[in-house]
Amino acid sequence: MSSLSKFKKLAGISAFALAAMTAANSLSAAEWKYAHEEYEDDVQDVYAYKFKEYIEDNSDHTLKIYRFGELGESDDIMEQTQAGILNFVNQSPGFTGSLIPEAQIFFIPYLLPTDLETVIEFFNESKAIHEEFPKLYAEKDLELLKMYPEGEMVITLDEKATSPEDLNNKKIRVMTNPLLSETYDAFGATPTPLPWGEVYGALQTNMIQGQENPIFWIESGGLYEVSPNLIFTGHGWFTTAMMANKDFFDGLSGEDQELIRKAADYAYDEILEHIDGLADEALAKIEEASDEVTITRLDEEQIQAFRDRAPQVEEEFVNMTGESGKALLEQFKKDLEDVESD
């Protein structure tokens, strides 16, 4: 065989090998799908895009992100994740509570502190979050990757309020979460479950007189326009969870599972920096945009009047969840004690 023939043969083999490698790489690369509950540049959106950044910078995979409304409401994207249509979903325990009753623990008022440093330490160190919750989510075919805080909960109303008595006969929108309904019942209001897409219109038409959300969401959703009285009661933090379809996750290679866990950790670290100061920025935007907004920060005596009603919510949580919920609550409180004693 001539040198030229040998070269052509080798070139042909190399080209075939390259084509085979390219095909193999294209088969191993995948476009994964991820949906969350918020708008562009909101906390869950920032988390999702940081997760995407890590995945795409460290693999051949790509990630398609769907924001609120693009695939339906919160219940819709959870159903699609459980069905395997979506690979990842970011959903608050406020909606997951009907699926995983123990997740409602985050809605026991005055259980979590409200200062950011303590909240972050709790999410970093809590055994309940890192050891107990993954097992609960796994029972529902979900791989829990991260739980993280978004912001302090703030009530908005049609008029100022400083006491539970001021909430009497007020219809307050709540997520479809039985324990959150119990909370506002304890606070003296009439809890009214509504999907997010109906909230602005319901406030505008006085079908409801108030709602609760982190301040950044009140700003980005324009809720202050139709519910201008903001009341800081100090009763809790909005928490969310990022998870994967468990069959999908379990079917991945060890390398891809590690990639996803590292991406979740990276996005978590980034989001903790992002939320630092976010509430103040959002509140400043609200005050600049509207002269009608009032801001009421309850003092300790006023807060105590609400806090005194929290035990009945805690009792209802145990009634709803049984021994598993009771054990989780005990671990939750121990974790908080450990953080606060440091």
The answer to whether the beta carbons of residues 149 and 268 sit under 8 Å apart is no
For 98, the 3-state DSSP assignment is coil
Residue 7 resides in a domain: no
Cβ-based neighbours of 340, under 8 Å, separated by 6 or more: 113, 118
Q: What is the mean pLDDT of residues 9-17?
A: 40
Residue 6 resides in a domain: no
For 1, the 3-state DSSP assignment is coil
- Rounded Cα distance between 116 and 12, Å, is 62
Nearest to 160 by CA among 214, 215, 233: 233
Strands in the chain per DSSP E: 31-35, 62-66, 88-91, 142-157, 171-174, 190-193, 210-214, 229-232, 237-245, 294-297
Q: What is the mean pLDDT of residues 97-103?
A: 89
Residue 5 resides in a domain: no
C-alpha distances (whole Å) from 128 to each of 98, 105, 111, 138 are 19, 11, 14, 14
More confident site: 14 or 209 = 209
Residue labelled with tokens 């249509």: 85
Residue 42 resides in a domain: yes
The answer to whether the beta carbons of residues 54 and 263 sit under 8 Å apart is yes
Percent of the chain at pLDDT > 90 equals: 85
Residue 181 resides in a domain: yes
Count of domains observed in the chain: 1
Residue 53's domain spans which residues?
Answer: 30-341
Nearest to 106 by CA among 205, 203, 34, 175: 175
Q: What is the CATH number of the domain that holds 160?
A: 3.40.190.170
Task: Note the pLDDT tens digit of each residue in 24-53.
Answer: 333 478 999 999 999 999 999 999 999 999
Residue 14 resides in a domain: no
Mean pLDDT of the chain: 91
Residue 131 resides in a domain: yes
Residue labelled with tokens 């009032």: 294
Q: Indicate if the pLDDT at residue 10 is higher than 80.
A: no
pTM, to two decimals: 0.88
Q: What is the mean pLDDT of residues 271-296?
A: 97
Q: Indicate if the pLDDT at residue 239 is higher than 50.
A: yes
The structure tokens listed for 121 are 């330490």
Residues 130, 62, 85, CA angle at the centre, nearest 5°?
70
Residue 18 resides in a domain: no
- Rounded Cα distance between 119 and 81, Å, is 29
Task: Note the pLDDT tens digit of each residue in 290-303.
Answer: 999 999 999 999 99
